[in-house]
Amino acid sequence: DVVATVTQIDGMDYRSCTSAMTDDDKTMKCVAEGAFIPATEIKTNDNLVQLHKRGRMLVASYEALRFQRIDLFTVTLKQIGAYIARSQMADAVDVILNGDGNSNPCGSVSPASSGSLSYADLIAMWSALTPFELNTVLASSSAMTALLTMSEMKDAVAGLNFQGSGKMITPLGANLIHTTALSGNNLIGLDKSCALEMVVAGDVAVDYDKLIDRQLERATISCIAGFAKIYDGASKKMTY
């Protein structure tokens, strides 16, 4: 929900590309006939993308599998996959906040008043992301509570829309994501279409085997992935 593109690689080393565009580069000026067309340079980053391998092994006895009423083995594997996805979300949030090792930490937006979050603060974040679009908001538990208890979010018309369509009202129409990777009074606004690249080394690996001398069945699930920033200005953080 937060990555612009997923890059599949076959090795353990990957160097992402970046385009350091100035404000002048972002302005498409008129070009006269026969004149030189301005160029935008794309180059590789100085540092490699840091990849993390995450996985878990599930061990169950023959008796546990034989006498169960539901396929608990499969359900547990799915839950392990969900835990891996949650850990990868934490990796993504860390890259957004602190950068991917190429001196590109996230810019910050100051709230109008410390200790409280207002709708005007969301407008300030939306404005700070220009020319990018604020289409995704990551919020901690306390920030999520502050967002959903705003008077603008409790509008009667918004409530009728939620009851009729099941779609919850979100700040400025952005996709609102609650994540435990953020703590305290923190939230992140980003343009999902150009903020983050996910790098995956191979597919999700799932392996099974049996230990017949102990009558145990084992399964492992693992994934190697990392994240890199595409455009530095496509994400902003706010601490209130």
Residue keyed to tokens 């990849």 = 51
Peptide bond into 131 cis (omega under 30): yes
pLDDT digits (tens, 9 = 90+) for 162-213: 666 666 677 788 999 999 999 999 999 999 999 999 999 988 888 989 999 9
Q: Which two tokens mark 73? A: 């083995």
111 CB-near residues (< 8 Å, 6+ apart): 117, 118, 121, 124, 238, 239, 240
Q: Coil, strand or helix: which one is 70?
A: coil
Of 155-159, 203-207, 210-214, 236-240, minimum mean pLDDT range: 155-159
The number of angstroms, rounded, from the C-alpha of 57 to the middle of its chain's C-alpha atoms is: 26
Q: Does the structure show a pLDDT above 70 at 82?
A: yes
User: What pLDDT is recorded for position 23?
Assistant: 74
- Percent residues over pLDDT 70 in the chain: 93
- Percent residues over pLDDT 90 in the chain: 48
Average pLDDT, the chain: 87
pLDDT digits (tens, 9 = 90+) for 26-61: 778 899 998 988 888 888 888 889 999 999 988 989
User: What pLDDT is recorded for position 81?
Assistant: 85
User: What pLDDT is recorded for position 192?
Assistant: 94
- 212: region left, alpha or beta (phi > 0 left; psi from -120 to 50 alpha): alpha
CA–CA gap between residue 91 and residue 82 (Å, rounded): 14
User: What pLDDT is recorded for position 157?
Assistant: 65
User: What pLDDT is recorded for position 226?
Assistant: 95
